[in-house]
Amino acid sequence: MIHQSDEGPGPATPGDAIKIRARGINVFYGAKQALFDVSLDVPEKSVTALIGPSGCGKSTFLRCINRMNDTIAGTRVEGRVELDGEDVNDRSIDPVVLRARVGMVFQKPNPFPKTIYENVAYGPRIHGIATTKPELDAIVEKSLKRAGLWSEVADRLQQPGTGLSGGQQQRLVIARAIAVSPEVILMDEPCSALDPIATARIEELIDELRNQYCIVIVTHSMAQAARVSQKTAFFHMGKLVEAGATGDIFTNPRDGRTQDYITGRFG
């Protein structure tokens, strides 16, 4: 079922182009429906936060954008997710190409059991972005610098990435994601396994990356959503309840459930 309305639910932050346009998304895990008719606009070059209680479908929505739901057997996605006006679920779209454009950072840092260098070089290698060693070196250095990790690992690039601390691992994974120059970065609770100091570093990083990428972040922390995002969408029981400029959502929510959630009455 394709819901062809051009009217976004909730006002997008003014003056921003729309990068991702989702319309009428339903997701089923087997017989269980996880998302109900979700429509959301994600603006370019800004951070959009998805908040809501556990199991509300915000991660499921995130995984629709780079088609990671394809990797779970028995999952069915209905509706339209447009990236720059192109439906990512279209038959002509190769998920492999799509995922090179839409990077993803997971809840738990998942560096590959390889060296720091090889972790970052992984994407450029498989996509054939760099052909010579100096090119690859340059990409690795640039990505690590942009992820704010270069100064900490420059002298030990050949050591295993799994030997870093949790916060460093998460920044390594972000470096790995931006090494293939994606347009969108999806972050699924990127700080939930980190301590407050490491969290602060990641949040700083997200704020810097906002200038170049469209970032969608799922978070359980209302404070984090308020700090890093420009737009916030509140999910509840598989439905998108409310979406709008972060300032509006937190100071002046229109829906009672949003109000209850952000004031800590449930969730």
Question: Which residues make up the interface to another protein (CB under 8 A)?
Answer: 66, 68, 71, 73, 96-101, 103-104, 106, 108, 110-114, 122-123, 126-127, 162, 173, 176-177, 180
Instruction: Say how far apart CA 88 and CA 67 lie, in whole Å.
Output: 8
Which residue, 127 or 239, has its beta carbon nearer to another protein? 127
DSSP 8-class letter at 162: G
Distance of closest approach, residue 182 Cβ to another protein, in angstroms: 9
Distance of closest approach, residue 123 Cβ to another protein, in angstroms: 5
Q: Are 165 and 117 in contact (CB under 8 A)?
A: no
Paired strand residues for 22: 40, 81
Which residue, 140 or 177, has its beta carbon nearer to another protein? 177
Distance of closest approach, residue 215 Cβ to another protein, in angstroms: 15
**Length, in residues, of the chain:** 267
Distance of closest approach, residue 18 Cβ to another protein, in angstroms: 23
Distance of closest approach, residue 210 Cβ to another protein, in angstroms: 20
Which residue, 71 or 158, has its beta carbon nearer to another protein? 71
Which residue, 126 or 138, has its beta carbon nearer to another protein? 126
Instruction: Say how far apart CA 87 and CA 134 lie, in whole Å.
Output: 36
Q: Which residues lie below 8 Å from residue 59, measured CB to CB, with a gap of 6+?
A: 188, 189, 218
Which residue, 1 or 73, has its beta carbon nearer to another protein? 73
Of the candidates 169, 179, 166, the one whose C-alpha atom is nearest the C-alpha of residue 135 is: 179
Q: Is 157 left (phi over 0), alpha (psi -120 to 50) or beta?
A: alpha
Q: Are 199 and 228 in contact (CB under 8 A)?
A: no
Which residue, 28 or 36, has its beta carbon nearer to another protein? 28
Paired strand residues for 240: 235
Distance of closest approach, residue 28 Cβ to another protein, in angstroms: 17
Distance of closest approach, residue 71 Cβ to another protein, in angstroms: 6
Which residue, 3 or 101, has its beta carbon nearer to another protein? 101
List of E strands, the chain: 18-29, 32-43, 47-51, 75-83, 86-87, 102-105, 184-188, 214-218, 231-236, 239-245
